[in-house]
Protein backbone atom coordinates (compact mmCIF):
# COMPACT_ATOMS: atom_id res chain seq x y z
CA UNK A 1 0.00 0.00 0.00
CA UNK A 2 1.31 3.44 -0.93
CA UNK A 3 1.61 5.53 2.24
CA UNK A 4 0.69 8.78 0.50
CA UNK A 5 -2.31 7.76 -1.57
CA UNK A 6 -3.41 4.70 0.44
CA UNK A 7 -3.81 2.81 -2.84
CA UNK A 8 -2.88 -0.86 -3.09
CA UNK A 9 0.17 -1.22 -5.35
CA UNK A 10 0.40 -5.03 -5.38
CA UNK A 11 -1.07 -8.13 -3.79
CA UNK A 12 -0.45 -11.84 -3.71
CA UNK A 13 -2.73 -14.66 -2.62
CA UNK A 14 -0.80 -17.51 -1.05
CA UNK A 15 0.82 -18.97 2.03
CA UNK A 16 2.98 -16.96 4.40
CA UNK A 17 6.28 -18.42 3.26
CA UNK A 18 9.46 -17.32 1.49
CA UNK A 19 8.20 -18.31 -1.99
CA UNK A 20 5.09 -16.16 -1.55
CA UNK A 21 7.26 -13.28 -0.35
CA UNK A 22 9.38 -13.62 -3.53
CA UNK A 23 6.26 -13.62 -5.71
CA UNK A 24 4.89 -10.58 -3.89
CA UNK A 25 8.19 -8.70 -4.27
CA UNK A 26 8.17 -9.45 -8.02
CA UNK A 27 4.67 -7.93 -8.36
CA UNK A 28 5.64 -4.60 -6.80
CA UNK A 29 6.28 -1.99 -9.54
CA UNK A 30 9.99 -1.26 -10.05
CA UNK A 31 9.50 2.41 -9.16
CA UNK A 32 8.59 1.39 -5.60
CA UNK A 33 11.23 -1.35 -5.41
CA UNK A 34 13.94 1.18 -6.28
CA UNK A 35 13.07 4.01 -3.89
CA UNK A 36 10.32 3.23 -1.37
CA UNK A 37 10.68 2.27 2.29
CA UNK A 38 8.85 -0.93 3.16
CA UNK A 39 7.45 -1.33 6.68
CA UNK A 40 6.72 -4.96 7.46
CA UNK A 41 6.06 -7.08 10.49
CA UNK A 42 9.01 -9.03 11.84
CA UNK A 43 8.27 -12.11 9.77
CA UNK A 44 11.40 -14.01 8.68
CA UNK A 45 10.26 -14.45 5.06
CA UNK A 46 10.91 -10.74 4.38
CA UNK A 47 14.47 -10.78 5.73
CA UNK A 48 16.85 -10.74 2.81
CA UNK A 49 13.96 -10.50 0.33
CA UNK A 50 13.61 -6.73 0.58
CA UNK A 51 16.94 -4.85 0.36
CA UNK A 52 18.06 -3.84 3.86
CA UNK A 53 18.30 -0.12 3.02
CA UNK A 54 14.58 -0.02 2.12
CA UNK A 55 13.24 -2.46 4.71
CA UNK A 56 12.11 -1.64 8.23
CA UNK A 57 10.85 -4.59 10.24
CA UNK A 58 8.70 -3.07 12.95
CA UNK A 59 6.37 -4.10 15.74
CA UNK A 60 2.66 -3.38 15.82
CA UNK A 61 3.36 -0.76 18.49
CA UNK A 62 5.16 1.43 15.93
CA UNK A 63 1.76 1.94 14.25
CA UNK A 64 3.19 2.01 10.71
CA UNK A 65 1.00 -0.85 9.49
CA UNK A 66 -2.37 0.53 10.64
CA UNK A 67 -3.59 1.36 7.14
CA UNK A 68 -2.81 -2.03 5.63
CA UNK A 69 -4.34 -3.81 8.63
CA UNK A 70 -7.48 -1.66 8.20
CA UNK A 71 -7.55 -2.51 4.48
CA UNK A 72 -7.22 -6.23 5.25
CA UNK A 73 -10.19 -6.00 7.61
CA UNK A 74 -12.25 -4.08 5.01
CA UNK A 75 -11.36 -6.72 2.40
CA UNK A 76 -12.53 -9.53 4.70
CA UNK A 77 -15.79 -7.68 5.38
CA UNK A 78 -16.61 -6.74 1.79
CA UNK A 79 -15.39 -9.77 -0.15
CA UNK A 80 -17.29 -12.71 1.29
CA UNK A 81 -16.07 -15.18 -1.33
CA UNK A 82 -13.07 -16.52 0.65
CA UNK A 83 -15.24 -17.30 3.70
CA UNK A 84 -15.93 -21.02 3.51
CA UNK A 85 -19.20 -20.87 5.48
CA UNK A 86 -20.88 -18.32 3.21
CA UNK A 87 -23.27 -18.80 0.31
CA UNK A 88 -20.91 -16.93 -2.03
CA UNK A 89 -17.91 -19.24 -1.43
CA UNK A 90 -16.01 -20.22 -4.60
CA UNK A 91 -14.25 -23.54 -4.95
CA UNK A 92 -11.80 -22.24 -7.54
CA UNK A 93 -8.79 -20.17 -6.46
CA UNK A 94 -8.97 -18.14 -9.68
CA UNK A 95 -12.44 -16.92 -8.68
CA UNK A 96 -11.16 -15.84 -5.25
CA UNK A 97 -8.31 -13.93 -6.86
CA UNK A 98 -10.69 -12.34 -9.39
CA UNK A 99 -13.00 -11.13 -6.62
CA UNK A 100 -10.06 -9.68 -4.68
CA UNK A 101 -8.71 -7.96 -7.83
CA UNK A 102 -12.13 -6.49 -8.54
CA UNK A 103 -12.37 -5.16 -4.99
CA UNK A 104 -8.86 -3.67 -5.11
CA UNK A 105 -9.58 -1.94 -8.45
CA UNK A 106 -12.76 -0.45 -7.01
CA UNK A 107 -10.93 0.54 -3.81
CA UNK A 108 -8.08 2.22 -5.73
CA UNK A 109 -10.51 4.10 -7.99
CA UNK A 110 -12.39 5.38 -4.94
CA UNK A 111 -9.10 6.54 -3.37
CA UNK A 112 -8.04 8.22 -6.64
CA UNK A 113 -11.35 10.09 -7.00
CA UNK A 114 -11.13 11.21 -3.37
CA UNK A 115 -7.69 12.68 -4.10
CA UNK A 116 -9.08 14.68 -7.02
CA UNK A 117 -11.80 16.36 -4.96
pLDDT by residue (tens digit) across 19-36?
988 898 899 999 998 888
- Answer yes or no: is pLDDT of 115 > 80: no
Q: Cα–Cα distance between 57 and 64 in angstroms, integer?
A: 10
Whole-prediction pTM value?
0.73
In the chain, the N- to C-terminal Cα span, in Å, equals: 21
Amino acid sequence: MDAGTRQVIAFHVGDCNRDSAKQMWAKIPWMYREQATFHTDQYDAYTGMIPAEWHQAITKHARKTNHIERFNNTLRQRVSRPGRDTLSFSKKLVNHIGAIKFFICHYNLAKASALLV
